[in-house]
Amino acid sequence: MSEWKARRFWKASSVRPAGDGFEVALDDRPLRTPGKLPLILPTPGLAAAVASEWDAQADVIDPNTMPLTRAANSAIEKVTPQFGDVAGMLAEYGGTDLLSYRADQPAELARRQAEAWDPLVDWAATELRAPLRITHGVIPIAQDRQALARLRGHVEALDPFGLTALHDLVTLPGSLVLGLAVIRSRIDASEAFRISRIDEDFQAEQWGQDDEARIAAESRRAAMLVAERFWHLSRLS
């Protein structure tokens, strides 16, 4: 038996005010999440982008081509009811932030890390008031409790859509500082991805990179770019 696939049933999408935000209607039917909750979006910009994803569907609906819709569904169905847990999980990345753990050898790798990471550690200390301690090697280092509390405060201050965007910007590179730097426009997602892969890229220069690793890395980069776009769209009036 062939697998059933959802097919396009509408002619055109539209955006209209709904509640405290905006909804997308397919013909005259408002979109809902997979769990049948109203898909109310915070800005007309995000609503228009979601509508464009639906308009781009051909005969068969392909969820893989609708990353903004998937993120919006997650914000409503998963992040909103578990906001505290999600925020706490992301805040914990500050205690083991990638930027705190440096190589001492080879010297060229240590130099590249310091060149790329030190300015962001300095930025966290001044802009976020959260100075991170630096160590060399993999032995865990305890971060200052006040610094971690301030980082947590920055995370908890977000709304569910912002927290949804931050999720991939933190978990994929393994750095809370990089994620916060992207949503505060200190760097963009492409730069955050590059910075997070200094060690991997250095190793690939020495030993080569296989196709599987390259494809996986490009998938993570694409996901971070979507998260960055979701963040900006969810802020646009």
CATH 3.30.2180.10 placement within the chain: 13-77
- Within the chain, which residue ranges are assigned CATH 1.10.3580.10? 83-233
- Closest to 162 in 3D by CA, of 82, 217, 87, 77: 87
Both tokens assigned to 46: 């995000």
The predicted pLDDT at position 2 comes to: 46
Provide the pLDDT for residue 110: 96
Q: How far, in Å, CA of 141 to CA of 96, rounded?
A: 8
Query: What's the confidence (pLDDT) of residue 3?
Result: 52
The pLDDT of residue 180 is 98
pLDDT at 106: 95
Segments of the chain with pLDDT less than 70: 1-5, 8, 237
What's the whole-model pTM score? 0.93
* Superfamily of segment(s) 83-233: ATP12 ATPase (1.10.3580.10)
Give pLDDT, residue 223.
98
pLDDT value of residue 1 = 39
How far apart CA 192 and CA 185 sit, in angstroms, is 11
H helices present in 157-197, as ranges: 160-171, 176-183, 189-196
Pick the CATH number of 13-77 from 3.30.2180.10, 3.50.50.60, 3.40.50.720, 3.40.640.10: 3.30.2180.10
Instruction: Give percent of the chain above pLDDT 90.
Output: 82
- pLDDT tens readout for residues 181-195: 999 999 999 999 999
Strand-pair partners of 25 = 14, 30
List the 29-30 sheet strands across, edge first: 13-18, 21-26, 29-30
Average pLDDT, the chain: 93
For 103, how many CA atoms within 13 A lie in the half-sphere containing its CB? Answer: 15
